[in-house]
Each structure stands twice: as structure tokens, then as C-alpha cells.
Amino acid sequence: MSTESAEKLLDAATRLFVAHGIERVNSNQIAREAGVGVGTFYAHFKDKHELHQSLVLSALDALRVRVEKAVAAGPADPEQQVRRTVEAVIAFAEEQPDRFRIAFLGGGRFGYSTRGVERRLRELQEEGAVDRALHPGTAARAFASMQSGVLLWWLEDPSRGSRAEVFETLVRLHPALRRP
């Protein structure tokens, strides 16, 4: 199976990228850590950046799937949705901290889409449920940035706040809960 070595390489790279930073890791190290030959690295990935990108995209995708499930899992009530969404993201960050870091370290150059949140904000504004002075695009981006920024910071040292404090703070700062 082609997947065997590729998996090993992806896992090894995740560990190394998080531990030392993408730029301080090289293809030989990744191959060695994965327990495969250098050639195998290049048989599966064009270069280190392609591997990195596939790691980021896969992590973002896994996160997206979890968030979508969370959204679908309960009532449309905005507060409950925000709570379920933030809960899903925190759970992901806790369960797979390295994948979460990979996805967001580097400032999210690979674009975490905020279209969904933006659309939802617009709807809530039309319903009169959300402050019309918020610019939906900006607010959506703001929440994405704060969420990833806070969680990276929290994962760095979980004693910075309890899970509940972090959760509650993110929820309460969510633009969808900003009443008019």
C-alpha cells in the first residue's frame, strides 16, 4: 500500500514541524524520523512545502468536518450553535494539539474560510438579532483569528486559563452573540 510510508512521513513531519518549526526541519530528518529512506520522501512529496501544505489542508479539513457536525447536531439557536462550535474546536485542539498547531502556526496562510460565519452573521443582522454596526466579513475574520490565536496560546501553556474560562471567553466574544 502506498499509504503506509506516506502516513509515516506525515506523522513524523507533524511531530518535527511542531517541535522545531517548519524551517528548522529538513527532508532527511523527516525521513529518518519516519523510519524510511530519503528517496521515499521524494517518491511521495515534491518537497517539504508540499508535505506541509497537505498537512495543513488535511488538518483544516478535519476541523471543518467536526465543526459542521457540531453545527448540525443541535438547534439553530445562535448561542447554542456558537457553544457547540467553540466546543468542537477546543476539543479538536485538545485531542490533536499538533494537528491544530500545524493548521494555524504560520498565521493561517492557507486560508481558513470564514464565509459560513459571515453569512450567518448577515442573517442574524437581518433578523435583528445581531448588532448591525458589525461588518460581517470583518467580524467573521476577527472571530477566526481570535479563536486560533487564543487556542495556540493556551496550548502553549494550558495553565494560562482553565478550559472553562477559555471556552466561556471565546463564546462571549463571538460576534453572533453581540446584541444590537
Could you list the residues that contact a copy of itself (CB under 8 A)?
22-23, 104-108, 131, 133-135, 137-139, 141-146, 148-150, 152-154, 160-162, 165-166, 168-170, 172-173, 175, 178
Q: For DNA, give the closer residue by CB, 48 or 174.
A: 48
Cα separation of 5 and 36, whole Å?
7
Q: Shortest gap between Cβ of 102 and DNA (angstroms)?
A: 17
Cα separation of 76 and 42, whole Å?
47
Cα separation of 19 and 115, whole Å?
32
Q: Which stretch binds DNA (CB under 7 A): 20-28, 106-114, 122-130, 144-152?
A: 20-28
Q: Which triple of cell numbers denotes residue 75? A: 438547534
Cα separation of 8 and 31, whole Å?
9
Q: For a copy of itself, give the closer residue by CB, 7 or 162.
A: 162
Cα separation of 99 and 62, whole Å?
9
Residue 38: contacted member of a copy of itself, DNA, none (CB under 5 to 8 Å, by partner type): DNA
Q: For DNA, give the closer residue by CB, 45 or 100.
A: 45
Q: Which stretch binds DNA (CB under 7 A): 32-40, 107-115, 125-133, 148-156?
A: 32-40
Residue 43 within binding range of DNA, rule CB under 7 A: yes
How many helices (H) does the chain have, and how many strands (E)? 9, 0
- Closest by Cα among 179, 18, 4, 165 to 97: 18
Residue 17 within binding range of DNA, rule CB under 7 A: no
Rg, Å, the chain Cα set = 19
Q: Shortest gap between Cβ of 95 and a copy of itself (angstroms)?
A: 20
| Interface residues toward DNA, by CB under 7 A | 2-6, 26-28, 36-44, 46-48
